[in-house]
Amino acid sequence: MKYVDEYRDGALAKTLAGKIAREADPGRRYHLMEFCGGHTHAISRYGLADLLPRNVEMVHGPGCPVCVLPIGRIDNAIELARDRGVILCTYADTMRVPASKGLSLMKAKAAGADIRMVYSCADALKIARDNPSREVVFFAIGFETTTPPTALAILEAARQGLANFSVFCNHVLTPAAITHILESPEVRDLGLVPLDGFIGPAHVSTVIGSAPYDYFAEEYRKPVVIAGFEPLDVMQAILMLVRQLNEGRAEVENEFTRAVTPQGNEKAKALVADVFELRRSFEWRGLGEVPYSALAIKQRFAAFDAEARYGIVYRPVPDHKACECGAILRGVKKPADCKVFGIVCTPENPIGSCMVSSEGACAAHYTYGRYKVGSDPGKVGSDSTFGDRNPGR
Amino acid sequence: MTKGQEKVESDPTFRRRGAYVRPIDFRNGRVDMTHGSGGRAMAQLIDELFAAAFDNEWLRQGNDGARVNPPPGRLVVATDCHVITPLFFPGGDIGALSVHGTINDVAVMGATPLWLAAGFVLEEGFPLADLKRIVHSMAGAAREAGVPIVTGDTKVVEKGKGDGVFITTTGVGVVADGVDLSGDRARPGDRVIVSGTMGDHGVAIMSLRENLTFETTIESDTAALHGLTAAMLAAAPDLRVMRDPTRGGLATTLNEIARQSQVGFVIDEAAIPLKSEVEAACEFLGLDPLYVANEGKLVAVCAAADADHLLAAMRAHPLGRGAGIIGEVIEDRHHFVQMDTRFGGRRIVDWLAGEQLPRIC
C-alpha cells in the first residue's frame, strides 16, 4: 500500500531498534508514556515492545476516547435512546462499553432502543434528514480529532434548520489530561509512576498543532515528541526521546512533520471555537474530575444541545470494585496487574472500559500481547493465569 | 405454456370452471401471504419458479422429499443459513452464495457433494423480480457445480418479520475411503496453506453498506470449491484439515483449528495473500483483513512433507492459483495463533471480539 508500507518497513525498524539499543544508557530506565490509544494499538499490533531494550518501557496513557468516557455519561445516552425514544447515533466502539446495571448501548439496542452505529456525524445528520418525524441525537465522543466534524455537523444542522437533530457532547481535551497526569500525586510527589517523557498525539496534534505541548516541556521538564501512528513513527519518536533524555533536554520535537505544524489546523480550530466552549470541569473515567478538560455546546446553539434539550442530569457512577481501569489509565498499573484481567474481564465480557476499544490498554494487551504474560519477569502476572482458561469462547 | 400452467390447468377444479390462470407477475409483483399459505398461489409459485429453475428428476416427482441412492462410503451432511445484506453484491448474490456456501462446507470435509436441499423464508412484499433473479442465480450455481437441488421448502413471513429473503441450504456428500479430514488433526510441524487472497468477499459487501458506500473494483470471491478440494485430495490423500474461512475470516478459522487440535499456529504476515485494494479498504475502515470473510477460499493443514506438491496441485487449479504456504503448526498449550508481523515483531491473532460487521453471509 503506497504511502503506508513505507512506515511499516521491517528493515528500517531493525535499524532504528539497533540505534535505540546502542544509545539507551544501560545504567538507567526510560519510562515513556504514549498518551494516545492509537499509539498503544500500534505498539501492540506490530509487536514494537519486542524491538525495544528492556530498560526502555512504554507506559500506556489515557488517550483512548472510549476508555475515558465515564459510566454515567453512557447511562445518560442509554436513557435518551430507551426512555426518550430518540434515534441515538454512535461510533461503533461505544456500543459495548459497560454501563450501570449490566447494560451497554448494545444491550439497550437488543432490548428495543433505536441505536445506530455511524462512521461519522455526517451520517447522523443524514439519518435526521431521512427521519423528519423522529428526534435524532448524535452521541459525540472523542478528543480534538473528532471535535471539528461535530462542530461542522451542528453548523450544518443550523443552516438546514434540522430541528430534529441534536448532539450529546462529550468531547474532551488532550492537554488538560496530560497536565492532570503530571499533577497527580502519584507522579508529582510519591514518585510511584516514573514518567520521563511523552510520545505526543498524532491526529490530535494535526488539529491543535505542537505549540500546546511547549508548556509541559517547560513547566514539568518532560520531553515531548509528537509522532504519527505508524510503527516506524513510534520507533523514531522513542529514539528522539531517548536522545533528549540522554542529553538532559526537555523540548517539544515533532516527528510527524508530514502532518503536524506548530499552529495546527486553523480552520478546524476556528470551527471548534465557534460552536463549543470550555466546561469548568468534566469527569474522566480513571482520572476523576478534571478542570477545564472538556467542551460544551455554546448557548447560541442550545437548540442542538441534547443536554439542554432533554434536561440530561449527570450522575457519577463508581467503577466496578475489582476494575483497575482508573489506575491503568493514569499509568499507575499495567493490565496484567489487574486481578480480573483476562479472567473475568475479556473483550467478550468487558468489566472495564480499557477492555472495550481496540485502543484500550487492556484490550490491546489481551488481543496482541498476552502470550508474553509471565515470560517477562519485569511484568506482573503469571503464566498460569491463562493455563486454565479456555482461549476460545 | 409453462410447466406451472400445465399443472394448475390439469387441476379438476380449474377445468370445471374453465378458469384462466393469471401468470405470476415477475416484473412488478410482490410476495404476499398466499405464496406461503399452502394454496394454489403457493403451488403456482413453486411450479413456475422453483421447480422450473431447479428442474431435475427428483423435483419432477413432486414428492415431499427426495429419495436418493447414495453411493458406498461415509456421508457428510452440512447446513448453512444465508441472511446476507445486501442481497446482490459485486461478484454474486444470496442465491449463488447459498449454493456455494453449503457445497464448500461439504467439500472441505473431503466429500464429493451430491445433493442440496433449500429452504426459503420470504418476507411479504419482497419483489418477485428479485426472487426470480435469486432463484435463477441459485439454479445456475447448482448446475455449474453439478450438484442438484433435490428438495426444498418455502415459507412467507409478514412484512417486517424478515429481511427480504433468507435461504437455508443443506448439502449431502460422500467421502472416499481413506480420506479423514477433521479440525482435530493438525499436528506440530504441519504446514498451513491458503488457497488465495483473503478478505475479498467481506470488503465487497462492505463497499455497499448504506452508511459506508465507497467505490471499489473488488468482487466477492464466492465460488464452489469442490473441484479444488478434489484436486488437493488427489495430490495429498492424507490431508489433515480443510476449512473455508467464511465468517470471522482466516483468524477465526485458525483459532478454531488450534482449539480443536490442541495446538498453536505461527503464521507469517508477509506470506498471507492480500489484494492491495482489500488491504487499502481495510486500512481506512480500521478493519483487520484477517478477520474479513471469504466465500471462495479455503485453509488447509497438511504434513510438512506434503506441502510442496499440495501447493503445486492447488496452483494448477483455477481457484487455487493464488495459493501460498502461510505458516506452521506448533506445540502450544494456550492454543494461540501467533503472527510474525511484516514489521519484525510477533503478536497474537486472537478470536474476534464483538463483530466486525453484521450479516455478510
Lowest mean pLDDT among A211-215, A236-240, A288-292, B208-212: B208-212
**B166 in the same domain as B24:** yes
Measure the CA–CA gap between A226 and A12, rounded to whole angstroms: 19
Chain-chain contact of A13 with B344 (C-beta, under 8 angstroms): yes
Whole-number percent of chain B with pLDDT over 70: 91
Average pLDDT estimate for A224-229: 96
Residues B107 and B199 both lie in one domain? no
Question: What is chain B's mean pLDDT, rounded?
Answer: 91
Q: Let me know whether B31 and B85 are in one domain.
A: yes
Q: Is residue B102 part of a domain?
A: yes
Cβ-Cβ contacts under 8 Å, A51 against chain B: 344-345
The predicted-structure confidence for A307-318, as pLDDT tens digits, reads as follows 999 999 999 998
Q: What is the pLDDT of residue A351?
A: 86
pLDDT score recorded for residue B19: 67
Taking CA atoms, what residue in A is nearest to B282?
A: A1
**Separation of alpha carbons A51 and A361, rounded Å:** 19
Among B117, B147, B175, the domain boundary falls at: B175
User: Structurally, how many domains does chain B consist of?
Assistant: 2
Cβ-nearest to B334 among A51, A369, A371: A371
Q: Give yes or no: residues B45 and B91 share one domain.
A: yes
B329: CB partners within 8 A, 6+ apart = B186, B187, B188, B189, B190, B191, B192, B261, B263, B264, B265, B301
Q: In chain B, which among 105-164 make CB contacts under 8 A with chain A?
A: none
| A183: pLDDT strictly greater than 70 | yes
**Residue A115: per-residue pLDDT:** 96
Q: Record the cell numbers describing residue A320, joined without a space.
A: 466496578
B168/B200 same-domain check:
no
Could you tell me if B345 lies within 8 Å of chain A, comparing CB atoms? Answer: yes
Lowest mean pLDDT among A80-89, A185-194, B34-43: A185-194
| Residue environment code for A141-153, b if the CB has 16+ CB neighbours within 10 A, otherwise e | bbbbbbbbbbbbb
Shared domain for B143 and B219, answered yes or no, is no
Residue B20: the pLDDT is 77
Residue B81 counted as domain residue: yes
Q: Give a yes or no: residue B43 inside a domain.
A: yes
Section A49-59 average pLDDT = 90
Under DSSP, the state recorded for B63 is -
B230 to chain A nearest CA, in Å? 31
Closest CA to A81 of A98, A101, A105, A99: A105
Residues B200 and B166 in one domain: no
Same domain, B24 and B142: yes
CA distance A223 to A237: 11
Task: Say if residue B252 is in the same domain as residue B154.
Answer: no
CB contact (8 A) between residue A391 and residue B351: yes
Residues B125 and B152 in one domain: yes
Mean pLDDT of chain A: 88
Whether residue B149 sits in one domain with residue B60: yes
Q: How confident is the model at residue A16 (pLDDT cuts 50, 70, 90)?
A: very high
Contact pairs from chain A to chain B, CB under 8 Å:
83
Name which of A73-87, A257-271, B15-29, B237-251 the model is least confident about. Answer: B15-29
Question: Crossing angle of helices A231-246/A37-45, nearest 10°?
Answer: 110
pTM for this one? 0.84
Cβ neighbours of B283 in A, within 8 Å: 1, 4
* Pick among A2, A44, A46 to test the B interface (most B CBs inside 10 A): A46
Please state, in angstroms and rounded to a whole number, the distance separating the CA atoms of residues A311 and A75. 14
Q: Which domain holds residue B163?
A: 20-64+72-175
Which carries the bigger pLDDT value, residue B13 or residue B106? B106
pLDDT for residue A381: 33
C-alpha span between A356 and A349 (Å, rounded): 9
B353 located within any domain: no
Give the pLDDT score at A49: 84
Contact B342 A347 (CB under 8 A): no
Mean pLDDT computed over A69-85: 95
Closest of B150, B166, B176, B185 to residue B302, by C-alpha: B185
Q: What is the pLDDT of residue A390?
A: 33
Comparing B165 with B215, the larger pLDDT belongs to B165
Q: Which of A24, A21, A95, A43 is nearest to A334 (CA)?
A: A43
Average pLDDT over residues B224-234: 98
Is residue B297 in a domain? Answer: yes
Residue B279 lies in a domain: yes
Which residues of chain B neighbour A124 with C-beta distances below 8 Å?
A: none
CATH number of the domain residue B256 falls in: 3.90.650.10
Please, what are the domains in chain A?
1-321 (3.40.50.11740), 325-374 (no CATH)
Mutate to test the interface with A, among B347, B352, B356 (most CBs of A within 10 A): B347
User: Is the predicted pLDDT of residue B13 greater than 60, yes or no?
Assistant: no
The answer to whether the Cβ–Cβ distance between B342 and A45 falls below 8 Å is no
**Dist. CA A41–CA A360, nearest whole Å:** 8
Give me the residue from B335, B336, B353 closest to A347, CB to CB.
B353
Q: Is residue B298 part of a domain?
A: yes
Judge if B245 and B119 occupy the same domain: no
Please say which residue of B126, B148, B175 terminates a domain.
Answer: B175
Top pLDDT among B328 and A177 is at B328
| pLDDT for the residue numbered B63 | 92
Q: Could you tell me the CATH number of the domain that includes residue B28?
A: 3.30.1330.10
Query: What mean pLDDT comes out for the span A36-51?
Result: 87
Query: A230 or A64: which carries more pLDDT confidence?
Result: A230
Among B146, B175, B204, residue at a domain's last position: B175
pLDDT bin (cut points 50, 70, 90) of residue B15 is very low
Residue B201 belongs to a domain: yes
Whole-number pLDDT of residue B360: 53
pLDDT tens digit sequence for A24-40:
999 999 999 999 988 98
Please judge whether A10 and B342 are an interchain contact, meaning their C-beta atoms are less than 8 angstroms apart: yes
Q: Specify the range with the lowest mean pLDDT, choosing from B196-200, B288-292, B301-305, B354-358.
A: B354-358
Give percent of chain A above pLDDT 70. 93
Residues of B in contact with A126 (CB under 8 A): 211
**pLDDT recorded at residue B17:** 54
Which of B259, B345, B350 is closest, CB to CB, to A50? B345
